[in-house]
Amino acid sequence: MGMKQGLVIEDWGLVEYSQALERQRALVQKVLEGAPDHLVLCEHPAVLTLGRMTKPENLLYQRHDIEARGVALAKVDRGGDVTLHAPGQLVVYPIFNLNNTARDLKVYMESLQEVAVDLLKNFGILAISVPGQRGVFVGPTKIISIGVGLRKWVTYHGLAINVNTDLSLFDLIKPCGLNVRMTSMQELKGHHVPMQDVKPRLVEQFQRRFCFL
């Protein structure tokens, strides 16, 4: 990634998924028109998002049973299968113009995984990316999901980092279509991990990896 000037950081707090998606799309348009790249941090009320590759069998319960657990469902235009967002999960939306660097989705995805691995290393968690699989793993468990959308080479969607997520909600699905158990920073560390400790370190990793001044 080449050197780039500036990065606008926005923290949207707890925001409904549909509202966040609209705001992402508006930012994509702004960036296409010449605005600086943006990095959005937020959390969502419990929702299952269904990517373009979602298979019905990866929803392990009927819609009414899922909604009875207080979990919404939303079809989305990112790649990948079904995933969960819920409070305690840090959701990260990079709105980056790849026209300014390299139009290479593979390199971009690998960079996202490196950001995630380096973030977890800051907290003493040894994580890896697995060839051929999106996301980040700790041993046999998965801790971070990655799903990306592109519009004219401007990125949206992004990463979902399980910080203090209610892991029981993942029992509703096969996460990303995988036979994998999800974990969280809280579970691995054995205590609550303050979100305000995670956010600045994540921003720092993005700035380093994507060469923002």
Report strand pairing: 89-95 vs 82-85: unpaired
Residue 163 tokens read as 């910080």
SS3 69: coil
CA pair distance 193, 9, nearest whole angstrom: 21
User: Active site includes 211?
Assistant: no
The H-assigned helical ranges of 9-151 are 17-32, 63-68, 105-122
CB 142 within 8 A of CB 136: yes
Query: Is the alpha carbon torsion for 13, 8, 142, 153 positive or negative?
Result: positive
Q: In 10 A of CB 60, how many CB atoms?
A: 13
Instruction: Determine phi and psi for 56, rounding to 5 degrees.
Output: -55, -35
Name the residue type at position 96. F
Instruction: Identify the active-site residue in 120, 176, 188, 198.
Output: 176
Q: Which residues are catalytic?
A: 176
